[in-house]
Amino acid sequence: MTEGKGTSGRGQRELRVRVKTAKGRKLSSTLWLERQLNDPYVQRARKEGYRGRAAFKILELDDRYGFLRPGARVVDLGCAPGGWCQVAVVRVNALGQNPKKPVGTVLGVDLQEVEPIPGATIHQLDFLADDADEKVKGWLGGRADVVMSDMAAAASGHKATDHLRIVALVEAALAFAFDVLEDGGTFVAKVLAGGAENEMQAMLKRNFCKVANVKPPASRSDSSEKFVVAQGYRGREIADGRGDAGQGGDSRD
C-alpha cells in the first residue's frame, strides 16, 4: 500500500503496518506478525495462490539452475504446507497443460497430513523409515530426477544446536536421495550456515558433478539459511564408495 503525493512534497512512500502487542501475546509473536504483514513475498504468495512464501525460493532456484524440467519425476521431502509442490507441478507439466511437452510427476511426503494439491500425489510417510525409499520408487514407477527438501528441525533457540540438527536432517535427506535418484539427478536442500556442514559438502562434491551453495532473494536477509543445489548425480556406485569420484564437483558460492 502506498501513500499518494500530497502538499508535503515528500512524494510517495511505502507505508509499514505496525502491530500493537495485545494483552497476553508475547513480544516475539507481535514482531513475527508485523514481519509477516510487511513481507512482500507473503503478500505475493497470497495474491498468486501459493501456500507460503517459500514457494518463491524454489522458483528462484529453478530459474537459475533449471532442474524442474517438463517430464521430470520430483520428490519433495517434508512437503507441508505444499508451496514447493505447487511450483513443481507447473514446472514439470504434471497436469499436462502443455500438450507439446512431456508430463512430469510430483510426489510429496510428510509426517503430517497435507491438503491435496492438484497435479501432485501426497503421502503421509516418514522418509527415515527403512522401506521409505522402496515405497517412493514404487509410487513413482522408477527413480526420481529431483529430490528436494525445505525441511528444518524444530528450533531449540540455541543457534549451534539448531545448526547441527538441520545438518543431520539434510544428511539424512541426502542418504535418501542416494537411494532414489536417477543417474544425472538433482538434490536441492535447505541448510543453515554455521560451519558444521563440511563433511556434507564433501559428500556432495564426491557424488555430484556440480554443487552450488546459494541464498535466493526470497530468503530473508536476517536468516542464516542457504540452499545447496547438487546436479549431475554420479550414481549408486559412487554413493556406496565402489566407484571413482574423481576430483569432486564444481562448488560455487
Per the annotation, where are the binding residues? 82, 84, 110, 126, 150
**Catalytic residue, candidates 190, 205, 210, 215:** 190
- Binding region for S-adenosyl-L-methionine: 82, 84, 110, 126, 150
- Burial (CB count within 10 angstroms: exposed 0-12, middle 13-18, buried 19+), residue 92: buried
Contact status, residue 108 vs residue 79, Cβ threshold 8 Å: yes
Annotated catalytic, 190? yes
What is d(CA 114, CA 123) in angstroms, rounded to the nearest whole number?
Answer: 8
Q: 92 with 105: CB under 8 angstroms?
A: yes
E strand intervals along the chain:
2-3, 13-14, 73-77, 105-110, 120-124, 144-149, 181-192, 208-214, 225-233, 250-252
CB–CB of 212/65 below 8 Å?
yes
- How many helices and strands (H and E) does the chain possess? 8, 10
> And the C-alpha cell for 193?
550456515
Closest CA to 209 of 191, 173, 181, 185: 185
Q: Grid coordinates standing for 12?
A: 510517495
**Three-class SS of residue 223?**
coil
Residues identified as active-site:
190
